[in-house]
Amino acid sequence: MKANTLFVKLIVLFLLGSQFGIARPNQTSAQTVSKNSTKYNNTLLGENVYLFDPSMNMAGIQTLLDTVYNQQSGRKSEFSKKRYALFFKPGKYKLDVKVGFYMQVYGLGESPDDVVIEGAVRSKSTNKSGNVLTNFWRSAENLTVIPTVDSANIWGVSQAAPLRRIHIRGDLQLHDGGYASGGFLADSKVDGTIFSGQQQQWFTRNSIMGKWLGSNWNMMFVGVKNAPKENWPKNPFTVINEVPTIREKPYLVLDKKGYCLKIPLLTQKSVGISWENKLTNEKTMRLSEFYIANPTTDNAESINSALQKGRNILFTPGIYAIDKTLKVTHAGTIILGLGLTTLQSTNGNPILELSDVDGLTVGGLMFDAGTKASETLLKVGETNSVKSHAKNPTFLFDVYFRVGGPMEGSTSSCMIINSNDVFVDHTWLWRADHGNGVGWDKNKSANGLIVNGNAVTIYGLFNEHFQEYQTLWNGNNGRVYFYQSEMPYDTPTIDAWKHDDKYGYASYKVSEKVNSHEAWGLGVYCVFYHAPVPVSDAIETPPTLEKNLHHSIMFWLNGNKESSIKHLINNSGESVNVDHRKTMLE
């Protein structure tokens, strides 16, 4: 598309405003994006994908970055309809890249060291308290940062804000002076010290760091070089030396032929980063093998048509209204989203169903429940799936779910995994506790996650506020590495949250029929604002499996002073309440 044509199109979209989901905190800043975006825009991957080159004027890039950030920062932007992917070609830049809601910062080199940003790639608080408890839905991937703006590169976040394939040539700070509540770091290298500060819980996998300083509730390290020494519960560290099985998230590269996708291969018993010394253990796919979806022109029918032809799908940034279930039936299909792509159910339908086939990949997608209730939003495999996929498993990377928040919505569950040998590498399932359409009888959802398949493994499971079990595990040989869960805030009465002879629902439930299950670093927290809820247990599991749940913690955060959780696991562990707020078990 010619530059002047694109300029006109951007102005038209601006004038149409919210019809196309354009967030406009003020007219001046929106106009600035339009006027300065033309030369940075990459129309192949969507109107909100900007491509930067180190030969460009740094002041011009900085102006555009700041304008996007000003639109995407602050509480008013938390449920913005805008989505951005900010791409950097290999080379060196001097920039302060501030990252707000729905912003993905992405290096396009073969190695993170190919894109070097001197300055910062940072996520900070937008209030005087320094709290970042709602710094959600953002990411940085595949680049190097030399911190010069602050004493350390500050990545103050809570859920759904991963760092992947990042090299910090200095220190990394996981807070901004106030409270922070959960994060994910993978396949990354930090030359200096990682300061956790008031970060409450954090999961780190396959990384290298100079040193870790700080502790709070629940910190887990799997396959991490120079991880702190485990000393639970004095220091809340869980350290596992090797990652049993992993395949890193696919990543985009821009080479002489154009865009391609690098797909890392499956590894066993891995430690540290995958990209050290530029060792290759991956295959390459050109972008021509993908159907490029666009939120303004594509719908469920066009996307399903591409899927039926065996095409892979790359969603360009935006919000997609999905009125019919997207069905993946071909083995090896890859479905990726850019810039926090969001898929919304609009007809009471599941959004995405994956058949019980080998080697599927889904990553970088957000699933929103709609006003018409769904059975679930993402289903992996058909009911009673029995096939083994051990040699070529399915992987889900950075998949997020919302029930309420941007709008009123309901679903019985967010994700059901029926297939065997499925890996989930970072997920946040969230029944909204604030935002739009929020209330016990508005954003209804019983469960966040239901696992029926065998040999399902999850690295980094964040699951919060659902109205029955947050996690219900029915399959055998499951493994969970790190769990963060808050029970629902808005339980109206004691009687509204009872079942059988028990008060409330456990957050983490392993069903009675399961004979093999193991988990590490399980954190369950409660805030009951309305009712004096006396929950029986935070975790329930068959008695024979209690020994397989390692390093568990529950914490009474706030709320009704008569509320409590009586036991941590199966009548074991002291109660937590306003007077005794924390309990930890080996």
Q: What's the rounded Cα separation, in Å, for the pair 186 and 163?
A: 6
Neighbouring CB atoms inside 10 A of 355's CB total 17
Using CB atoms within 10 Å of the CB of residue 511, give its burial: 0 to 12 exposed, 13 to 18 middle, 19+ buried.
Answer: middle
Q: Which residues contact 262 (CB under 8 A, 6 or more apart)?
A: 110, 250, 251, 252, 253, 282, 283, 284
Q: Is 382 a catalytic residue?
A: no
CA-to-CA separations, 237 to 179, 474, 521, 585, in angstroms, rounded: 19, 28, 8, 13
Kindly give the pairing relationship between strand 498-499 and strand 378-380. unpaired
425-442 as b/e: b if 16+ CB within 10 A: bbbbbbbbbebebbebeb
The upper half-sphere exposure of residue 219, i.e. CA atoms within 13 Å in the direction of its Cβ, equals: 26
Query: What 8-state DSSP symbol labels residue 251?
Result: E
The upper half-sphere exposure of residue 378, i.e. CA atoms within 13 Å in the direction of its Cβ, equals: 27
Catalytic residue among 242, 486, 546, 562: 486
Neighbouring CB atoms inside 10 A of 546's CB total 15
CA-to-CA separations, 260 to 45, 241, 251, 333, 574, in angstroms, rounded: 12, 33, 8, 15, 54
- Measured torsion, CA atoms of residues 125, 127, 128, 132, in degrees rounded to the nearest 10: -40
Answer yes or no: are the C-beta atoms of 45 and 292 closer than 8 Å: yes
Give catalytic residue positions.
486
